[in-house]
Amino acid sequence: MYKILISNDDGIKGPGLRPLIKKLSEIAKVYVIVPVRQMSGTGHGISLDKYKKVERVAKDFYIIRGGTPADCVKYGLYSFLKNKIDLVVSGINTCPNLGQDVIYSGTVGAAREGAMLGISSIAVSAAEMNATEYAHSAAATRNIVEKLLKRKKRFKNICLNINIPKDYKGIKVVPLGTRAYNENIDTITDKNGNYLYKLSGRYIFEKKGSGTDVDMVDKGYISITPLQLDQTNYELIEKIEEYN
């Protein structure tokens, strides 16, 4: 039987977690390691120097207090699940991870960690803001995972970023698009005169680009984008060498 490690960045109370566990348990042995709380926006951050408490909350279900999504995957794959996992699945996230969102996403960070350790990995997100229903996303993920597991060797060191809209028309394998935000930094001072800040902002427009993940999700398709670990711009290496 296949073995799947599930993590997320929404924590143990993430609304997409249990629907995902339920559907993937139909086709594989499932292990779950998640942060105890919401960790959105942590990207691929990991914890260094400090011990984090791991707690077993149910059979094959663990939380890490203060741990990041990438910590959860790293802990599982380096410790008791070493050499046992066929696929890492991160999600289901409560909103889309499209375009440059993948840089900041803890959901994608967890999946990337699996890919870095040589395990086929996917990051799954609901393609709507603050989704309230996850059954369709979980069912679609199950179907994709079932096909992927049969070809997992082809996807070693690759993270598939997947966004699933409601009433989707089909699946498109596409590159990343671009999303734009009107970002601000709100600042206040505390009683001691120290500055405190908080990031704020909202979507203002999307440079969809024909055939990108942003474009296809907007048109009602599931988007799948293969993300590779090597981010080197090889063309620019040659150009820079010409300047020397």
How many Å apart are CA 37 and CA 18, to the nearest integer? 15
Task: Encode pLDDT of 9-41 as tens digits.
Answer: 999 999 999 999 999 999 999 999 999 999 999
Indicate the pLDDT class of residue 86, thresholds 50, 70 and 90.
very high
Q: What angle do CA 163, 165, 166 make, to 5 degrees?
A: 150
Reported for 81-86, long-range contacts at CB under 8 A and 24+ positions apart, including other chains, are 81/3, 81/5, 81/31, 84/3, 85/3, 85/4, 85/5, 85/31, 85/114, 85/119, 86/2, 86/3, 86/4, 86/28, 86/119, 86/120, 86/149, 86/152
% of the chain with per-residue pLDDT over 70: 94
Task: Encode pLDDT of 186-216 as tens digits.
Answer: 888 888 888 787 776 665 555 557 899 999 9
Within a domain: residue 99? yes
Task: Encode pLDDT of 115-146 as tens digits.
Answer: 999 999 999 999 988 888 999 999 999 999 99
Query: Does the pLDDT at position 74 exceed 80?
Result: yes
Question: In this structure, what token pair is assigned to residue 87?
Answer: 């696929």
How high is the pLDDT of residue 190? 85
How high is the pLDDT of residue 204? 55
Within a domain: residue 19? yes
When the pLDDT of each residue in the chain is averaged and rounded to a whole number, the result is 91
Within a domain: residue 64? yes
Task: Encode pLDDT of 38-66 as tens digits.
Answer: 999 999 999 998 899 999 999 999 999 99
Instruction: Give, in order, the Cα–Cα distances in Å from 144 to each of 86, 147, 151, 153, 155.
Output: 14, 5, 11, 15, 13
Within a domain: residue 86? yes
How high is the pLDDT of residue 49? 83
Q: Closest by alpha carbon to 155, among 75, 71, 227?
A: 227
How would you list the strands of the sheet with 222-228, edge to edge?
53-58, 61-65, 29-35, 3-7, 87-93, 120-126, 158-164, 222-228, 171-173
Question: In this structure, what token pair is assigned to residue 211?
Answer: 């055939």
Question: In this structure, what token pair is assigned to residue 145?
Answer: 């995972």
Within a domain: residue 20? yes
How high is the pLDDT of residue 63? 97
Query: Does the pLDDT at position 2 exceed 60?
Result: yes
Within a domain: residue 44? yes
- What domain count does the chain have? 1
Q: What is the CATH number of the domain that holds 219?
A: 3.40.1210.10
DSSP string, 86-131: SEEEEEEESS---TTHHHH-HHHHHHHHHHHTT-EEEEEEESSTT-
Within a domain: residue 219? yes
Indicate the pLDDT class of residue 164, thresholds 50, 70 and 90.
very high
How high is the pLDDT of residue 192? 87
Task: Encode pLDDT of 172-183 as tens digits.
Answer: 999 999 876 666
Q: Closest by alpha carbon to 4, among 53, 61, 45, 56?
A: 61
Residue 116, domain extent: 3-176+209-243
How many Å apart are CA 145 and CA 101, to the nearest integer? 23
Within a domain: residue 200? no
Indicate the pLDDT class of residue 242, thresholds 50, 70 and 90.
confident
